[in-house]
């Protein structure tokens, strides 16, 4: 890949790798949302994983270490429209999130190594059964007459489009949907793109990025629903990590490095028969 990728190409890459998720309570036949988040699909050694932040799929938990004593269901829309009795509906896939799932007893070091101390706000699920399920993008509306990238088949992240070592001199982008609601099985909301974020430090096994704003603070409405979203290097178009937290007061965004995520998945693959 070239040293620099055009921003229009980055937008297409981000939209095709973005997988919205909403969470409903287990047993709710209507799959009523109790929370929204973001995520991505990662294909590794022949296995497909859905990756997001732990607090996204264990809903109603501001502190993921203190989970509610209940199970949830993760719902991921395919954005393939099918005919409904009253209005068009979009297909979805879904899977149960057991309250015991996730990673609570490990910490990722700055070098990507793992040690048995402290929790990680990270959730992954093997979904090989959906390996051949097609997913499609929703259009990005830049103006009344400018809607792009809608209806494209989504793609999967692989080792070829992740960046294990972050370059602190580069800038970074985050893409996802905020202000979400459900219409049929279609998620509606505002597509949000945070561009030009810069690297601050690597601390507690996480990257700290700062928004390119000098006089404004990060606003909740601009970030609610972006937990679990992939973070992209604007120079290479590759993923360097996943959003797990942000600060409205200091313009900081905390990112779990992709190398730690891959290490966890490597451990899981050894257990797949």
256 in any annotated domain: yes
What is the CB neighbour count within 10 angstroms for residue 165? 11
The pLDDT value given to residue 100: 43
**Whether residue 162 has pLDDT greater than 90:** yes
Residue 213: pLDDT above 50?
Answer: yes
Containing domain of residue 128, as a range?
A: 7-269
Report how far residue 204's alpha carbon sits from residue 63's, in angstroms, rounded to the nearest whole number: 17
pLDDT-based confidence at 14, cuts 50/70/90? very high
In which order are the strands placed within the sheet that holds 89-97? 35-37, 21-25, 72-82, 89-97
- Checking if the pLDDT of 83 tops 60, the result is no
- Establish if 118 belongs to a structural domain: yes
- pLDDT confidence tier of residue 252, bands split at 50, 70 and 90: confident
pLDDT at 108 over 60: no
Query: Is a pLDDT exceeding 70 seen at residue 38?
Result: yes
Give 64 or 270, the one with higher predicted confidence: 270
On whether residue 132 sits in a domain, the answer given is yes
Rounded Cα distance, 209 and 211, in Å = 7
Tokens of 133: 């399920």
CATH number at residue 44: 2.40.10.120
- pTM: predicted TM-score of the whole model, two decimal places: 0.83
Instruction: With respect to residue 162, please indicate whether it lies within any of the assigned structural domains.
Output: yes
pLDDT in tens, 117-161: 455 678 888 899 988 889 988 877 766 677 777 788 999 999 999
Q: How far apart are CA 114 and CA 117, in angstroms?
A: 9
Total number of residues shown for the chain? 273
Residue at 2 is within a domain: no
* Spacing of C-alpha 94 from chain mean position: 16
Query: Is the residue at 79 inside a domain?
Result: yes
Residue 140 lies in a domain: yes
Give the number of domains in the chain: 1
Q: Is 175 exposed, middle or buried (0-12, 13-18, 19+ CB in 10 A)?
A: buried
Residue 26, domain member (yes or no): yes
């Amino acid at each position: 890949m070239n040293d620099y990728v055009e921003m229009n190409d980055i937008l297409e890459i981000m939209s095709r790798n973005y997988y919205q998720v909403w969470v409903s309570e287990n047993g709710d036949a209507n799959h009523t949302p109790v929370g929204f988040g973001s995520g991505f699909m990662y294909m590794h050694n022949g296995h497909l994983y859905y990756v997001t932040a732990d607090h996204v799929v264990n809903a109603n938990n501001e502190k993921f270490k203190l989970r509610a004593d209940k199970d949830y269901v993760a719902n991921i829309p395919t954005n393939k429209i099918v005919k409904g009795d009253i209005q068009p509906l979009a297909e979805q896939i879904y899977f149960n999130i057991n309250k015991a799932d996730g990673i609570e007893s490990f910490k990722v070091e700055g070098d990507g190594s793992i040690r048995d101390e402290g929790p990680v706000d990270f959730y992954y699920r093997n979904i090989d059964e959906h390996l051949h399920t097609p997913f499609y993008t929703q259009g990005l509306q830049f103006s009344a007459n400018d809607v792009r990238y809608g209806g494209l088949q989504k793609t999967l992240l692989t080792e070829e489009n992740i960046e294990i070592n972050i370059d602190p001199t580069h800038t970074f982008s985050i893409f996802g949907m905020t202000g979400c609601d459900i219409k049929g099985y279609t998620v509606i909301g505002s597509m949000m793109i945070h561009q030009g974020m810069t690297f601050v430090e690597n601390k507690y096994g996480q990257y700290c990025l700062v928004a390119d704003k000098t006089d404004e603070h990060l606003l909740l409405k601009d970030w609610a629903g972006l937990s679990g979203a992939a973070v992209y290097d604007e120079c290479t178009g590759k993923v360097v990590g996943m959003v797990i937290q942000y600060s409205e007061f200091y313009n900081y965004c905390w990112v779990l490095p992709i190398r730690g995520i891959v290490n966890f998945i490597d451990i899981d693959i050894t257990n797949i028969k």
